[in-house]
Amino acid sequence: MLVSNRLAIALVVTLTCAFQFVQESNAQHSESGGKGEGFWQLLKTPFAVPDVPNYTGQTTFVGGLMYPNKKGGPTVSMHYRVRETPDQVIEWYEEALKAYRWVGRKAPVTNKGRSYEASKGNSSVTISASECSVPGFRTDLRMSCKIAR
């Protein structure tokens, strides 16, 4: 009887741990989460940010995240891999955003790459470009946008 009680307890503990693991794994792979202002959604395709042109070079969308309920307007972060160099990407965005009447400035070059920050009204965008270690691509492009309502 004592052995069967121990086995039953061990089985309950094992199943509880397995259930928690499955729940945690599912949470890590959720498509959305959080509450209120902290609510987030995974982006499986690029989000069209108003007045931010799509890069015309060769890109592959890696993923993104959107916080649609942020105070003042949604926040979007997207990650791409690009075949052109970080310098070419930043220069393209600098010219393209100017054409869309964004006011911008280059941030200092760091060992992590280059970036360009711009604003238009209460909206803002930061473009970051760094060397990519994935074969076939030269740049990791990250775009963060605050879209004013």
Question: pLDDT of 85-110, one tens digit each?
Answer: 999 999 999 999 999 999 998 877 87
Instruction: Please report, for the domain that includes residue 86, its CATH number.
Output: 3.40.1000
Give me the pLDDT at residue 30, please.
Answer: 84
Say if residue 15 is in the same domain as residue 70.
no
Give me the pLDDT at residue 8, please.
Answer: 33
Give me the pLDDT at residue 11, please.
Answer: 30
Separation of alpha carbons 91 and 103, rounded Å: 14
- pTM for the structure as a whole: 0.77
Give me the pLDDT at residue 96, please.
Answer: 96
Domain with 21, as residue range(s), is 1-30
Say if residue 40 is in the same domain as residue 61.
yes
Which one, of 134, 143, 46, lies nearest residue 83 by Cα? 134
pLDDT < 50 regions, the chain: 1-27
Tell me, what amino acid is at 57? G
Give me the pLDDT at residue 28, please.
Answer: 56
Asked whether the beta carbons of 56 and 82 are under 8 A apart, the reply is no
Q: Which helix (H) or strand (E) holds 92?
A: helix 86-99
Separation of alpha carbons 89 and 128, rounded Å: 9
Give me the pLDDT at residue 23, please.
Answer: 36
Give me the pLDDT at residue 112, please.
Answer: 80
Give me the pLDDT at residue 107, please.
Answer: 79
Say if residue 62 is in the same domain as residue 133.
yes
Say if residue 127 is in the same domain as residue 69.
yes
Say if residue 52 is in the same domain as residue 88.
yes
Say if residue 86 is in the same domain as residue 140.
yes
